[in-house]
Amino acid sequence: MKKLFLSSLLLLSLPVLAQDNLIRINQLGYYPDAPKIAIIPEIPNESEFEVLDDKGISQYKGVLTDEIYWDKSGEKVRRADFSDFSKAGKYQIKVGDILSWPFEIKDDVWRDVSVAIMKSYYLQRASYELEEKYAGVYKRPMGHPDTACTMHPSSGKSGKLYAPGGWYDAGDFGKYIVSAGVTMGNMMSLIELIPSVFPDKSVNIPESGNGLSDILDEVKYELDWFKYMQDDDGGVFVKITSEKYPDMMFPQYDPLQRNVYGKSTAASLHFAAVMAMAARLYKTFDPDWSADCLVRSERAWSWAEANNQVIFTNPPGVLSGAYSNRNMEDEFLWAAAELFTTTGKAAYKQYLIDHKEELWNMAGSGWANVNGLAITSLSLYQDILPEELRTIIKKSLTDWSVQLIRDMNISAYRIPEFRLVWGSNGFIASTGLCFLYTYKVTGDRKFLNAAAEVADYILGKNATGYCFVTGYGSRQVVNLHHSVSIADGIEGSLPGFVPGGPNPSMQDATSSEHGQGAYYESKMPAKAYVDSELSYASNENDICYSAPVLALLAALDHYFGSPYPANWSKHYNLPE
Ligand code: 9MR
């Protein structure tokens, strides 16, 4: 367990100590021009609220809304809306005798947390020693060289594969193409949305100072591993993992054999999509490397066309993640979109025209559904789209966002509908991210504001009361289901990681608090989360949950905050 921030508790001369679950706010705070709404569950008989500054002086008074019931959390809540209060400072909300956690209003309020999430990818590097000057107390020796991984029979090959590098997927040490594909799709699209994001030297990684932005450097670490995963025929192997999950330990001690498993259509299309993106993003920095990305992308596309229903399922006895993707339409659409954007070739354009109906299927993306990525990515390249596609993209994005804002307006927590399943934090963040593309396309600020309210959910305005980025907030996630965090003996979890979040299926639960599984105090869908090392179904990090949160926060920091300085030389330090 990590110490809670006493300093933040002592911010005010408190009439009553802040209580965990009563006032749900963004625990980091708000940009001056952003919406600012706190959720007040189960405090009857109060109809007003105040915003107190750090001297305890009232700076704002407002009236709470009427109670609204949320069936997913089982709560009646009121809302405190102080969006028109924009003075920079440190504050708490007061309702009756109850005080919220402290928060700030300032113009770079989510910058550090977004840099921390960016840095978490460096902390997940496989085949890599993390040195103290970049990793601080989280330094560790190299784990998993992956220079001679065993070809599993499902690969149709024998012998060994040289495939070092890449990021560990999650709490385990597996490297999976499908979850990494959607992850990099989100990250590279962020770079296209905000080219100045995470400039060189902003994240303090070994490549910092090489002239390339730190996000391009970090993504390239993963892309270099991707290239090793392509077979001679263009198809792409799905993963490198051991047969079963290793115990919770430092990577260098993992004794299990690392295997390469079979190829799949989904893995090949995720590969084709991200390699096509990489080909255009890295072109000016490294033309040869970028040209190779494009060749590989087109070869993977051709393989997928010729093998369009190869579904990977775990062979008997293999217990690591399967990421079995059964519906391939969205992967084909996304890969065609990226290939068309990069090459302008008629064949990819024709594919998009022939499948234009699918462009209406707007949704936040996850490893099993990347349709939304095709749409958001194309929305940034409207000038090269044929008129009929341009019209669909704009309307598809806008209609979807308008409907979701309608839902938000009547929802107790002011959040859009999202998939409350394993990895729900990724799904809601991805939904928020799509609002940003709608803002980019329409210029209408209501979409930007909606995205900011979704970010508030991640940072504390949710029914669990947790801030869902480790190392941040007043009520922190400290028992992440993450091997290194558990093994290192350091209080709390490594910073900058996003747990899966509420998951009503609770696949890891037992009925008893003292059983083997995770004990969920509440089984209400929006509260089905437990900050326990045992909870792989609600409290495990994954690169594909972090990426939409990263993109959402970094993009909002750009739109609401001050611009990233061109020559940013402040080296980010991990929180202690
Ligand atoms: O995020 C994945 C989730 O959608 C699946 O329901 C779940 C069970 O198959 O697996 C999740 O992904 C895990 C992966 O299989 C292995 N590494 C850890 C991932 C996060 O829990």
536 lines ligand 1 (CB under 6 A): yes
Neighbour-count burial for 549-565, b at 16+ CB within 10 Å, e otherwise: bbbbbbbbbbbbbeebe
C-alpha of residue 180 to centroid of ligand 1, in Å: 12
Token couple for 431: 């939904």
Q: What is the pLDDT of residue 45?
A: 86
Residue 112 Cβ < 6 Å to ligand 1: no
Evaluate the CA torsion angle 69, 411, 28, 552 in order and state its sign: positive
Q: How confident is the model at residue 18 (pLDDT cuts 50, 70, 90)?
A: very low
Per-residue pLDDT at 12: 41
* Cα–Cα distance, 401 to 554 (Å, whole number): 20
Task: Please tell me the distance between residue 492's alpha carbon and the centre of ligand 1 in angstroms.
Answer: 23
pLDDT exceeds cutoff 80 at 1 = no
- What's the whole-number mean pLDDT along residues 69-90? 97
φ and ψ of 39, to 5 deg? -110, 130
216-227 per-position pLDDT tens digit:
999 999 999 999
pLDDT at 567: 60
Per-residue pLDDT reduced to its tens digit, 285-313: 999 999 999 999 999 999 999 999 999 99
**Mean pLDDT value across residues 384-407:** 97
Determine the atom of ligand 1 nearest the C-alpha atom of 537: 21
Angle at 291 between CA 328 and CA 372, to 5 degrees: 30
The predicted model gives 106-119 an average pLDDT of 94
> How far is the CA of 254 from the CAs of 19, 144, 267, 300, in angstroms?
41, 8, 26, 32
Q: Looking at ligand 1, which residue's alpha carbon is closest to its atom 1?
A: 423
Interatomic CA distance for residues 551 and 118, integer angstroms: 9
**Residue 193 CB-density burial (10 A; 0-12 exposed, 13-18 middle, 19+ buried):** buried
Give percent above pLDDT 70 in the chain: 93
Q: What is the pLDDT of residues 261-281, one digit of tens each?
A: 999 999 999 999 999 999 999
Q: Is the Cβ atom of 99 under 6 angstroms away from ligand 1? A: no
- For residue 25, the 8-state DSSP code is -
Say if CB 169 and CB 322 are below 8 A apart. Answer: no
Report whether residue 222 contacts ligand 1, using a CB cutoff of 6 Å.
no
Q: Alpha helices of 417-537 — where are they, by DSSP H? A: 424-442, 445-458, 483-487
Nearest C-alpha to atom 9 of ligand 1 is from which residue?
A: 321
pLDDT tens per residue across span 364-373: 999 999 999 9
| Predicted confidence band of residue 19 (pLDDT cuts 50, 70, 90) | very low
- The predicted pLDDT at position 574 comes to 61
User: What is the dihedral sign for C-alpha 95, 407, 453, 184?
Assistant: positive
Hey, whose CA ends up nearest to atom 4 of ligand 1?
422
Q: Is residue 271 part of a domain?
A: yes
Residue 366 pairs in a beta bridge with 369
Question: Does any domain span residue 474?
Answer: no
Which residue, chain included where needed, has tokens 């007040």?
Answer: 40
Question: Hey, what amino acid is at 481?
Answer: H
pLDDT band at 563 (very low <50, low <70, confident <90, very high): confident
Asked if residue 22 is part of any domain, the answer here is no
Distance from Cα 88 to the centre of ligand 1, integer Å = 41
CATH at residue 118: 1.50.10.10
Give the residue whose CA is nearest to atom 10 of ligand 1: 321
- Does residue 227 belong to any structural domain of this protein? yes
Q: What is residue 530's predicted lDDT score, i.e. its pLDDT? A: 96
Whole-angstrom distance, CA of residue 1 vs CA of residue 73: 26
Q: Are strands 149-151 and 259-260 parallel, antiparallel or unpaired?
A: parallel
Over residues 443-494, the pLDDT tens digits come to 999 999 999 999 999 999 999 999 999 999 999 999 999 999 999 999 999 9
Would you say the CB of residue 545 lies under 6 angstroms from ligand 1?
Answer: no
Q: Which residues are catalytic?
A: 172, 481, 531, 540
pLDDT at 185: 98
Number of domains into which the chain is organized:
1
| 8 A C-beta contact, residue 370 and residue 273 | yes
pLDDT tens-digit series, residues 334-365: 999 999 999 999 999 999 999 999 999 999 99
For residue 172 and ligand 1, the question of a CB distance below 6 A is answered with yes
Distance 503 CA to ligand 1 centre (A): 12
- Please count the CA atoms within 13 angstroms of the CA of 531 that sit on its side-chain side: 17
- What is the Cα–Cα distance from 327 to 357, expressed in whole angstroms? 16
Domain boundaries, position 350: 111-385
Q: Is 426 in the pocket of ligand 1 (CB under 6 A)?
A: no
R_g over Cα of the chain:
23
CB 314 within 8 Å of CB 320: yes
CA of 22 relative to ligand 1 center, distance in Å: 32
Look at residue 156 and tell me if it is in a domain. Answer: yes
> Which residue type, as a one-letter code, is found at position 308?
N
Q: Is the CB of 245 under 6 A from ligand 1?
A: no
Neighbours of 567 (CB within 10 A): 7
3-state secondary structure (DSSP) of residue 252? helix
Whole-angstrom Cα distance, residue 260 to residue 235? 13
- The answer to whether 434 and 376 have CB atoms below 8 angstroms apart is yes
Whole-number Cα distances in Å, 234 to 111, 260, 274, 340, 371? 40, 16, 14, 19, 23
The finding on whether 423 has its CB within 6 A of some atom of ligand 1 is yes
Q: Is 6 exposed, middle or buried (0-12, 13-18, 19+ CB in 10 A)?
A: exposed
CB atoms within 10 A of CB 489: 5
* Mean pLDDT, residues 11-40: 77
Is residue 372 one of the residues assigned to a domain? yes
Residue 381 has pLDDT above 80, yes or no: yes
**Atom 18 (ligand 1) nearest CA:** 170
Q: Which residues contact 317 (CB under 8 A, 6 or more apart)?
A: 243
Answer whether residue 135 is part of any domain. yes
Nearest atom in ligand 1 to the alpha carbon of residue 169 is: 17
Pure H helices in 329-386: 329-343, 346-354, 371-379
CB of 542 closer than 6 A to ligand 1? Answer: yes
Average pLDDT over residues 529-533: 96
Q: Which of 169, 238, 532, 543 to mutate to test the pocket of ligand 1 (most atoms within 8 A of CB)?
A: 169
Q: What is the dihedral of CA 503, 505, 510, 514, to 10 degrees?
A: 10
- Kindly indicate the confidence band of residue 572, based on its pLDDT and cuts at 50, 70 and 90: low
Tell whether 155 is covered by a domain. yes
Which pLDDT score, from 0 to 100, does residue 10 have?
Answer: 36
Cβ 331 vs Cβ 365: under 8 Å: no
C-alpha 325 to ligand 1 mean position (Å): 12
Ligand 1 atom 14 nearest Cα: 321
Residue 200, classed as helix, strand or coil, is coil
**Cα–chain-centroid distance for residue 384?**
29
Q: What is the mean pLDDT of residues 82-110?
A: 96
Residue 141: pLDDT above 50? yes
**pLDDT at residue 5 greater than cutoff 50:** no
For residue 512, name the pLDDT band (cuts at 50, 70, 90).
Answer: low
What does pLDDT average to over the chain? 93
Task: Tell whether the model's pLDDT for residue 201 goes beyond 60.
Answer: yes
